[in-house]
C-alpha cells in the first residue's frame, strides 16, 4: 500500500457550553501553534460551543498520534469543566 498524500482529520466537538468551549480553545491553541514535530500540524477554532480541531499529518501513524494527544487533552479539559461547573 502506497503512502499517498497527507492525512487529515477534522473533529467537531460540541462542548455544550460556550464558556467551556472557549476555555478549551484557549488551552489547546498554544499547543497547535507550536507543534513539537514537523510530522503534523494542528489548527483549532470555535464555532459557538463547538470546538473544531483540524489535524494534517504526513502519514497515518502521525495522524493517530496527534489525534490521541488532542483527544486526551480535550478529555482532561472536559473533566475539569465538569468539576468546576456550578
Q: What is the pLDDT of residue 85?
A: 63
CATH superfamily, region 7-81: Alpha-D-phosphohexomutase, C-terminal domain (3.30.310.50)
The 10s digit of each residue's pLDDT in 32-63 is 998 777 899 999 999 999 999 999 999 999 99
**11 φ, ψ to 5°?**
-105, 130
Residue 86: pLDDT band with limits 50, 70, 90: low
Beta strands per DSSP E along the chain = 7-14, 40-47, 50-57
Q: Report the candidate in 9, 12, 14 with the shortest Cα–Cα distance to residue 78.
A: 14
- The model carries a pTM of 0.86
Please give the share of the chain, as a percent, with pLDDT higher than 90: 71
Amino acid at each position: 500500500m502506497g503512502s499517498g498524500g497527507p492525512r487529515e482529520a477534522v473533529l467537531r466537538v460540541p462542548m455544550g457550553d460556550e464558556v467551556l468551549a472557549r476555555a478549551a480553545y484557549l488551552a489547546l491553541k498554544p499547543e497547535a501553534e507550536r507543534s513539537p514535530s514537523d510530522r503534523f500540524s494542528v489548527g483549532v477554532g470555535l464555532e459557538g460551543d463547538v470546538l473544531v480541531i483540524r489535524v494534517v499529518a504526513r502519514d497515518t501513524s502521525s495522524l493517530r498520534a496527534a489525534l490521541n494527544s488532542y483527544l486526551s487533552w480535550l478529555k482532561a479539559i472536559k473533566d475539569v469543566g465538569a468539576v468546576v461547573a456550578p
